[in-house]
Amino acid sequence: MKKNKTNTSGTIALNKKARHDYHLEDKFEAGMSLQGWEIKSIREGKVNITDNYVIIQNGEAYLVGSRITPLQQASTHVICAPERARKLLLNKRELDRLIGARDRQGYSIVATAMYWKKCWVKLEIHLAKGKQTKDKRDTVKERDWQRQKERVMKHSV
């Protein structure tokens, strides 16, 4: 007998704030090195990736600032660290690309989505440039104009 899945799309968590604060450019898919209690919490949807970023130390990438809240029944015998740095699994070519863009061109590395891919948890990360306040206002104006244009086209047909 199969369980009813609560989330059929595979998306676990989104970072909508990243699209507002950054110009997102190159996209990468990274695996994550997780512990058992973290997987159980992720299955329950107890993940927050809004204020996170990726650091690179000693040639390895780590996700910092994400929070996976431990379940009470799953963490009775394990000491849980909900905000620990989690190692990202990327190949050497991808790491070199991230390091080069960060060091030479001043990019930030931001996680925008966490999702299931088969039985593995994957993280979507982007190379990103920070937006100025003016850029954020322009984005809001453009979105409002697109919405207004859709309304006009809908009513004219």
Q: Provide the pLDDT confidence category of residue 66 given band limits of 50, 70 and 90.
A: confident
What homologous superfamily does CATH list for 11-131? Answer: Small protein B (2.40.280.10)
What does the domain layout of the chain look like in residue ranges? 11-131
CA distance 150 to 156: 10
How many C-beta neighbours within 10 Å does residue 19 have? Answer: 16
CA distance 148 to 157: 15
- What is the per-residue pLDDT for 100? 87
- What is the per-residue pLDDT for 142? 84
Least confident range of 14-28, 46-60, 127-141: 127-141
How many C-beta neighbours within 10 Å does residue 87 have? Answer: 15
Summarised one tens digit per residue, pLDDT across range 127-157 is: 888 877 777 788 888 888 888 888 888 887 7
- What is the per-residue pLDDT for 87? 92
CA distance 4 to 81: 30
Q: Identify the burial level of 105 via C-beta atoms within 10 angstroms of its C-beta, where 0-12 means exposed, 13-18 middle and 19 or more buried.
A: exposed
Q: Is the pLDDT of residue 1 over 50?
A: no
Bridge partners of 111?
125
> What end-to-end distance do the CA atoms of the chain give, in Å?
48
CA distance 131 to 6: 35
Buried b (16+ CB within 10 A) or exposed e, 30-68: bebebbebbbbbbbeebbbbeebbbebeeeebbbebbbb
